[in-house]
Structure 1
């Protein structure tokens, strides 16, 4: 048997790669509870200033859903010092770019400027935190924006409500029961005072993480942070209530109709642990093994060989408190749902009873090494990873250490996760079908 060895050059390259991925950072807290993370990288003259607030869809209550995503839009309305409609103009006229996004667990805002405008980015995010304007004209305007977003991205988009169907049926009592965009009816019913109370409760320094990454001079950055953020009042302590669902012990089958599709989609969904657990990382590998690319087992079987599916995927979605593992299959022609389910169940059974091959295991490890490198290949990516690692994973240094968790996963771990979480009596089957005419 011929042994394969790495050349000295390859070994040296891998060593350099490992060192290059060590993200250095400094973190500290202001007296008002704001957590600050600084990352200095002077290789390019850009700075990203970002703020992650620990508020997402799961922090809402039934009957008033969609607030966190609504605020993603509303807090661009302006402040006493930034006129309504000027936020994006200020950013673009100073050579910057900015955006925001919301999940079930957090809301994230950022600006990236040439480094000579670092102070501007810090000031703008402090303005948003200190005194964002929450008035009726802003609420009315952004309601229409959110309605149009929902129409374009979900209601009028083929398969646009798959995630809604998934969370509505996989979670029944918990706050993951609704999608991030929430309910337009809830937003329409909410009074101005409710939006103002939501801002006062969640958009406070002790519920936020500020990251400044890039071409900075740390001592100067700290002075600006103290000046702009240090005097923002600390908010009241947030009492978080999460209501977990009872375990699924019997297979459930539901039907969801979509008027925008001609071909059905079939979803096989399981509840899994939240993204702070090691098992969530193992399930990421299970997902990659089953459907990570055209050489994955499900794609080769259902799409390439048997021609039974146009598309198939196994998706591991991690939230803060819980997770989802969901298979999605769109049939080729008139392929029955049962045929797709039989193949998927056979592959699950194979994982539960037989260890994956050494070759497949090595391919998995290579995929995750590559993903780790790519997610921190830009200053914006590093800023997001630092905030996410601290706020949602509980350890900022996971930006460097998380890959070690994936490296420690064994073939036995993969087998055990499939045995523990992917059983027929633990799932919801969603038949996502064309609406009847």
Structure 2
């Protein structure tokens, strides 16, 4: 079975779990929860768009699609049918740092789900026909998500400006030319390098018997061979970043201001502070940006702030969609003045406490869902090798002070560290 099982710290409101590792390097986490008769099987591979080569941008996301195109013992198109016929559901997603697959099944179908996932990991079984089909699917997805959607190109415009010459310098959708040039040899090589037990975390949460589950995991995953080569993570190199402000014409009705600041990676004091700040600035009718720009001055129809932290870098985003006839520069000045107020320590203490309360409630609610629970355990183990963060990470947010937010904002939310994109409607 591999290493001995070690129990996660258990407190009354904590997630209980156990974890171990198979001899082939597959990390396993089990979290029993009999509140509903279902199980979640979450399998995450530590590979995302940042791991792609320059001429193979989009491979991680393409592979997410290909994994539903059949495996050694499951014909193309049957994966979804097997899951649905068993009363379950499944999905997947790709980020810059990982590719995550999950299945939700009635608990008496756990063995079926483990067999299905192990079969996909066992051996490369993608056909040329499936590859050609998914190239077309990804091309269409790019058109629908980025090309034909208002402000849709933001995800393509920001990365190369924020992270020039860096592994985070492109969106997960990649480059269509690279995808169309992908060969069967390219795809097989990607599979053999990244879709291996020693680059994956398997989490099972829900109505399970731990002893029986361990036996099933060993039955279906224990004999899959370890990957031959160790994976060297591509770290962001020192890039040639320069602050910039660009205008982009788009098929939109209202102008929009979008700002991105480079910030430190996930699970840092800076990321905790800035996530709280994003909530204070724009979440809810009483938030600072909403109250001033939307409610009081009626300059904008919508405003927002959010943090996108990755394994080795992060971005703090702000945006404002303008009301008809409103001057862009006047709104920019208000947005930057609001940020300046934060750096000068003018953030109301009650706003910070309200944000902490919201974070604490949200965190507690997420731990009640077996799907969210499995996702969080897998995420923390994959990127930080520490599943216990599911219980302890909230304390990092609660310890942030108003002075922390002011000093961190001053360091990172400044004009020398930002990219501004002004979207303006095409003239007709």
TM norm structure 1 = 0.93
CA distance in 2: counterparts of 1:389 and 1:60, whole angstroms: 22
Q: CA deviation at 1:393?
A: 3.2
Paired position in structure 2 for 1:71: 63
Instruction: Return the match for 1:342 from 323, 333, 339.
Output: 333
Q: Does 1:359 align with 2:374?
A: no
Q: CA deviation at 1:347?
A: 1.0
Q: Does 1:160 align with 2:148?
A: no
> What are the superposed Cα offsets for residues 25-81 of structure 1, whole Å, 9 maximum, x if unpaired?
001111111000000111211011110000011111222111111111101111121
> What are the superposed Cα offsets for residues 275-306 of structure 1, whole Å, 9 maximum, x if unpaired?
03121111101111111222100000000010
Q: Does 1:241 align with 2:234?
A: yes
Moved more, 102-111 or 146-155: 146-155
CA distance in 2: counterparts of 1:118 and 1:53, whole angstroms: 20
Paired position in structure 1 for 2:386: 395
Instruction: Return the match for 2:318 from 307, 327, 330.
Output: 327
- Provide the secondary structure at the position in 1 that maps to 2:80: helix
Instruction: Return the match for 1:188 from 139, 161, 180.
Output: 180
CA distance in 1: counterparts of 2:13 and 2:186, whole angstroms: 44
Instruction: Return the match for 1:428 from 419, 422, 426.
Output: 419
CA distance in 1: counterparts of 2:388 and 2:82, whole angstroms: 34
Q: CA deviation at 1:373?
A: 1.6
Paired position in structure 1 for 2:5: none
Paired position in structure 2 for 1:11: none
Q: Counterparts of 1:6-405 in structure 2 under 5 Å?
A: 21-235=13-227, 236-246=229-239, 248=241, 251-258=243-250, 260-405=251-396
CA distance in 1: counterparts of 2:11 and 2:223, whole angstroms: 38
Moved over 3 A (4+): 18-21, 245-248
Q: CA deviation at 1:254?
A: 1.9
Q: CA deviation at 1:367?
A: 1.1
Paired position in structure 1 for 2:3: none
CA contact (8 A) 1:32 1:233 kept: yes
- Distance of aligned partners of 1:102 and 1:401 in 2 relative to their CA distance in 1, 3 Å threshold: same
CA contact (8 A) 1:53 1:202 kept: yes
Q: CA deviation at 1:358?
A: 2.6
Q: CA RMSD in A?
A: 1.5
CA distance in 2: counterparts of 1:410 and 1:358, whole angstroms: 9
TM norm structure 2 = 0.95
Which structure 1 segments of 5+ residues have no match?
A: 1-17
Which structure 2 segments of 5+ residues have no match?
A: 1-9
